[in-house]
Structure 1
Amino acid sequence: MRPLLFCILITTLSLAAPALAADLLILQSSRSPVYSEALRGLRAAARTNEQPLVLSDYAEVDVQRLVREERPRLVIAVGDKALSACRKLREVPVLSMLSLSLSQKPQSDHVGGVAMVAPPERYLELFGQLGAKRVGVLYDPKLSGLYLKRAAVQAADRGIILTMEPVRHSRDLQGQLEKLKGEVDLLWLLPDSTVVTTVNMEALLLFSMTQGIPAVTFTGQYLRNGAAAALDIDPYDIGVQTGELVSSLLRNGVYPKVPVQDPRKVRLQVNDSVLRKLRLKTP
């Protein structure tokens, strides 16, 4: 950030109520209705003093210096860009929400929050309701490896076989997808940016249709393109859940390890026409 612009930013924050030093610095990646909904939930659950900052409004923000100047008790990072900006912070706990990278990478003890993907057991329960025993999933080990390790343990306990094909570059998807032909009875799509591109989503959903197997995804927006079911997150409740973490941390005042929690509320959405075509009951 230009020195003058940063000075203006620091001055503006300094003129805000001094309560900032006692409560929250909210770093928001960008202006998004989804982020706004999550923050609405957070504010409903945690009555605190706060100072919000939208990172996309500035060319650059020195978050470390900002924290030293303003001395918040907690930092709330909304979205991946905000969480990335907090990676060097050590002097204050960070709570993240609506960030995929929270569950994709190991985090320091002072970083936690609410993850952005439904817990594996919710997906496995849905697979069971759809009668699937052989589930195929394509994934980038760097992005979804940790999550799928959890899923594999729980799948074995439920008698579900996970066939996991690594995709390290988006152009490699088609070759890995071919390996699943005739080997799986359900295709599981994760929010993995290496796998889920516009071109790849067409290939994945075409595979689902031509193989006559359901595709289960992480957002209802793909139902109209042929996915059979989706477990979608609830941004407002993620905000409420994060707000409850905020209240707990501020009340206890000791942060040996900030927890990472799964979202407790997800919304099942289905494409009834696809389920009928595949002769599957609505879960």
Structure 2
Amino acid sequence: MSYPTLCRTPLNVMTQPLALWLFLAVFCGPIASTAQAQAKILIVNSDSTVQKYQQVKDAFKVQMTPHAGRIIDFDVQQAGQPELLEKLIKDESPDLIYSIGSQAYQLATQFGGTKPVLFSSVINWQRFQRGGNSYGVANELSLSQELSLLRYVLPNLQRIGVIYDPHFSAERIADARNQCRELGLTLVEQTIDEDHPLEQHLDGLLDKIDVLWLIADPGVLADRATVEKIFTGSSEHKKPVYTYSDVFMNYGASLVVAADTPTMGRQAANMALAILQREPIKETVQTPAGSHITLNACQLGKLKKDYNADALDAVNQLLECH
């Protein structure tokens, strides 16, 4: 009888001889830990020059290194040729592929075959087809969290405007409609595409809303000039911007609720361990476990908008005028 077979055999504590229990204690633990320690993990990073990608990768590696036999890095941008990833996967045959960013995830699923693929930092992951071997940590907090926090911090702003490209964000906006309905908020939507650019719709949308909700939509946030146009227009119309990254504080965002990047990396590592140990995973795509809230009280003052002072206990960073 092989050791792994014996270790999986259900035993009755009252009927098994002491010698057998000693055997299990000596051999079964090392077998499980050895199998885990020999695991080979391939990290596919869309672009290591992107700070948030590097942060999530570093946190993942710190958490994962004591539990893995070998961790291999592949940077899509530095490699230049995606086909090199296909060769690497064939040559190394990793036990698990961890992809960071949308491009890395697409390539990992394309070349990974049946190997488990874990992802994070993927904008609107719902738009990608997922197989039974796909797991991940969502890039965005749950819509319930995002919209509830918006209403809690800025309770007087009821009409929420959102601009999106249906190619990237149709699923997320469909969920947002339901959440807004439950919270008593009004979602005012504006779609854009190649035939209907942002410039045609921005002023009209801003006239109808109390606050602009800027989501992580690559079709909307195409370049720096577009971002500047959105914030300039919002300021001119005296409408605060609620968004998902502290990067936008430099442009004049009023409220940011962001997923905590290092926590996301540690969360992905915990999922990786569960996958390697073949433990059941209830949620194959998990909501980020940590968040960071920044309130720009100075910007809200300039726009003559109030915030809920009782909500300050939930705020991680408060920006005031100096």
2:133 maps to which residue?
Answer: 110
Unaligned runs of 5+ in 1: 1-18
State the AA in 1 paired with 2:228: E
State the AA in 2 paired with 1:66: L
Confirm whether residue 93 of structure 1 aligns to residue 116 of structure 2: yes
Confirm whether residue 58 of structure 1 aligns to residue 79 of structure 2: yes
Unaligned runs of 5+ in 2: 1-35, 312-322
2:204 maps to which residue?
Answer: 179
1: CA distance between counterparts of 2:62 and 2:274? 15
1: CA distance between counterparts of 2:124 and 2:151? 28
TM-score norm. by structure 2 comes to: 0.74
C-alpha displacement of 1:20: 9.6
Contact 2:161 2:206 in 1 (8 A): no
2: CA distance between counterparts of 1:117 and 1:276? 28
Confirm whether residue 240 of structure 1 aligns to residue 266 of structure 2: yes
Report 1 or 2 for greater relative contact order, CA contacts < 8 Å, sequence distance ≥ 6. 1
Confirm whether residue 31 of structure 1 aligns to residue 56 of structure 2: no
Moved more, 110-119 or 135-144: 110-119
1:5 maps to which residue?
Answer: none
Contact 2:255 2:296 in 1 (8 A): yes
Confirm whether residue 202 of structure 1 aligns to residue 228 of structure 2: yes
Aligned in 2, Cα 1:173/1:113: closer, same or farther, shift over 3 Å?
A: same
Aligned in 2, Cα 1:261/1:212: closer, same or farther, shift over 3 Å?
A: same
Aligned residues between the structures? 265
1: CA distance between counterparts of 2:230 and 2:136? 31
TM-score norm. by structure 1 comes to: 0.84
- Superposed CA deviations along residues 90-120 of structure 1, whole A, max 9, x for unmatched, are 3101001122252443422322211212221
C-alpha displacement of 1:56: 2.6
- Superposed CA deviations along residues 214-270 of structure 1, whole A, max 9, x for unmatched, are 111121122232211112232211101101111111112678x98112212121112
Aligned in 2, Cα 1:35/1:180: closer, same or farther, shift over 3 Å?
A: closer
Contact 1:20 1:51 in 2 (8 A): no
Secondary structure of the structure 2 residue equivalent to 1:86: helix
Confirm whether residue 121 of structure 1 aligns to residue 144 of structure 2: yes
Moved more, 264-273 or 170-179: 170-179
1: CA distance between counterparts of 2:164 and 2:279? 39
- Of residues 17, 20, 40 in structure 1, which corresponds to 2:58? 40
State the AA in 2 paired with 1:43: K
CA RMSD of aligned residues (A): 2.5
Contact 2:138 2:288 in 1 (8 A): yes
Aligned in 2, Cα 1:270/1:91: closer, same or farther, shift over 3 Å?
A: same
- Of residues 144, 167, 175 in structure 2, which corresponds to 1:150? 175
Aligned in 2, Cα 1:56/1:213: closer, same or farther, shift over 3 Å?
A: closer
Contact 1:21 1:71 in 2 (8 A): no
2: CA distance between counterparts of 1:225 and 1:211? 15
C-alpha displacement of 1:191: 1.5
2: CA distance between counterparts of 1:203 and 1:68? 46
Contact 1:93 1:258 in 2 (8 A): no
2: CA distance between counterparts of 1:259 and 1:66? 26
2: CA distance between counterparts of 1:206 and 1:174? 12
1:82 maps to which residue?
Answer: 104
1:192 maps to which residue?
Answer: 217
Confirm whether residue 226 of structure 1 aligns to residue 240 of structure 2: no
C-alpha displacement of 1:153: 1.2
2: CA distance between counterparts of 1:258 and 1:158? 25
2: CA distance between counterparts of 1:193 and 1:162? 20
1: CA distance between counterparts of 2:95 and 2:250? 44
Moved over 3 A (4+): 61-65
1: CA distance between counterparts of 2:127 and 2:294? 24
Aligned in 2, Cα 1:38/1:268: closer, same or farther, shift over 3 Å?
A: same
Secondary structure of the structure 2 residue equivalent to 1:194: coil
